[in-house]
Structure 1
Amino acid sequence: MATTPHMPAPAHPTGTVRTRTALALVLALAACLFTLTQAPARADGPAASGGLITDDFWGDTSDIPPAQNVLQVKVLNRTNGAYPDDQVYWTFNGETHSIAEQPYLDMPVNSSGRMYFHLGSPDGPYYDFIEFTVGDNRFNGNTTRVDAYGLPLAMRLHTRDGYDVEVGDSRQLFTEDRATTFQRFVDSVPEPFKVLAQSQAPYRIIAPAADPSFRPGGANADYFTAYAQSVGVNASTADIFSCAGSLAGDAERCAALNRHVATLPADQQHDPAQFYSAEPANHYAKFWHDNALNGLAYGFPYDDVADQSSYVSHDNPEWLLVAVGF
């Protein structure tokens, strides 16, 4: 938090000048306090926790070695005993290790990077990834469900200025049986979406744009058609789910269609209380928001509209923890 600059006293204050100076100082301080209390949420990611996160889920962070590059990444085994550390693997930039061998990655500057996590073997069918761009003194990254759900993932970013935040999947996804997660998905979504948790089970719950039934010629190809046309959008259902085609550069419109708020006044289209409340809507994305830390998830490509994604960005990064579940 920035402090109010020191205001020097006038060289020869008279009674009137001193009074005006004091009044000006009081007003300046009041204005500053008002600005701080009325400031909008951070533009660089979720609000910090207000202090160090003390949840036992993340374990002891006191032994994380200092980074020689930009920040230190530590991978945590949160598979509840399903896989030992020597069967939990991470891969970055062509380098692969089990966390029994090497739980740390000293993250260098990179652009549009991905860090993959596999269970069982370095190329096993149970896998997932996080995305990031790392600058000289800034971390930008997120978990993602844009393509599919493969493993429960969460990450916690800690910076040298005290910012401490976690994003990703909820604790429930880490603690419950994998089959339970798949079944909860099936039970919570409308009929057209149930296949997403069945076609590649038990490995992945795929995004709707990846399923043939939502593509041209498929049984659900017209799922969004009438709704999209009602707001002047001529795009296929698959393109709406993936924000492609005519929607590739229209984040607001694509997000509004996926969330079923496109017919609402503009000032209501960023209200999460309105999202996914009627058909048609992206119920795949809704499930991941319902099962995410603070309700923040990347369920489709423009899910960062209205700050609803699991994206986090901050200067002075010190370390990043990544929890990998099963």
Structure 2
Amino acid sequence: FQVYGGSGGTTPPDAFWGTTDDIPPSSGVMKVKVLNRTGGAYPDSQVYWSYNGQEHSIAEQPYVDIVAAPAQRMYFYVGSPNGQYYDFIEFTTGTSSFSGNTTRVDAWGLPLAIRLHSHSGQDVQLGDAQDLFTMTRDQVFQNFQNSVPQQFKVLAQTQAPYRIIAPGSDPSFRSGGANANYFTAYANSVGVNEPTSNIFGCAGSLASNAALCAALNRHTADLPAAQQQDPSKFYGGDPANWYAKYWHDHAINHLAYGFPYDDVAGQAAYTSMDGPQWMEVAVGY
């Protein structure tokens, strides 16, 4: 298998983000500008956002004011509002702060990338890399299947063409499924007695042991403790969460939330910023 940190994680060029001079001041915490990066698959009138009780197409309203509140989500749809082709970002905002992320914990639904900019000039990009926006949707699904071991190919089939789902969500990795024992021997070898689905989902006894759950998913649980959170050691063998690895390989700076505790060792597509001014969200297909 490819070493952790593949060649796909290219940062979008400046042209991808377009002009920011047109972003108006926010009447809330910050302003969001939603970008249509579907490569011509959908016009602005068929790329939608949903947030805080509002729902509009980009053609109707490309700018969104973000309010201060905990545990928020902003959803994005292509084709039709509240349709099957959707994805979302998660964030918490204070009166002058932003903490948030893109996530692949449950599934990949659309290419999403964010660019966050502060009043002081700090600029951060997170989310899917350029290649997931330039590939066609069919190519992404096929590329995923070409990049993962046999057991994981089904993840791009179960809910296709709408989503590539996380292994913990797929029946094949649950009790009675063909891959139900995928992690069993490896987990037992390090003293963990949890079903495969709980390892992928960091559930059961692993809900309170983030470091161990991350080490199991990254196939480092059998290494000395000092090496378990070393990114150069991640995904060095089977079994591992090859679904998560794929999104890291195709993420800006190789940072992705591929499973619930993927923030261990700072690997998640997450950032915090004081004094946020605006954020662009690129929506692909």
Range of TM-score over shorter length = over 0.9
- Residue 245 of structure 2 aligns to a residue in which SS? helix
Provide the secondary structure at the position in 2 that maps to 1:248. helix
1:123 is aligned, of 82, 89, 92, to 82
Rounded to whole Å, the distance in 1 between the matches of 2:13 and 2:177 is: 48
**What TM-score, normalized by structure 2, do the two folds share?**
0.95
- Structure 1 Cα separation of the partners of residues 284 and 146 of structure 2: 22
Measure how far apart 1:270 and its partner are: 1.6
CA distance in 2, matches of 1:132, 1:93: 13
- Deviation of 1:217 (Å): 1.2
* Rg comparison, structure with higher value: 1
* Separation in 1, partners of 2:15, 2:55: 27
Q: 2:210 aligns with which of 251, 254, 271?
A: 251
Which residue, out of 49, 62, 65, partners 2:21? 62
Map residues 63-142 of structure 1 onto 2, 5 A cutoff.
63-142=22-101
> What's the secondary structure of 1:111's corresponding residue?
strand
Q: Does 2:247 align with 1:288?
A: yes
Q: How does 1:138-217 map to 2 (within 5 A)?
A: 138-217=97-176
Aligned match of 1:4: none
Q: Number of aligned residue pairs: give it.
A: 275
Displacement of 1:93: 2.1
**TM-score, normalization: structure 1?**
0.83
Gap regions ≥5 residues in structure 1: 1-48
Letter of the aligned partner of 1:147 in structure 2?
A: D
Listed one character per residue, the Cα deviations across residues 43-84 of structure 1 (whole Å, up to 9, x for unaligned) are xxxxxx9xxx96100000011111111000110000011000
Report the Cα distance in structure 2 between the residues aligned to 1:170 and 1:322, rounded to whole angstroms.
13
Shift of 1:296: 0.3
Q: Which runs of 5+ in 2 are unaligned?
A: 1-10
Distance in 2 (alpha carbons) for counterparts of 1:218 and 1:121: 34
**Higher-RCO chain (CA-CA 8 Å, sequence separation at least 6):** 2
Give the CA deviation at 1:137: 1.1
2:191 maps to what in 1?
232
Kindly report structure 1 stretches of 4+ aligned residues shifted beyond 3 Å: none
Distance 1:263 1:136 in 2: 44
Letter in 1 for 2:268: S
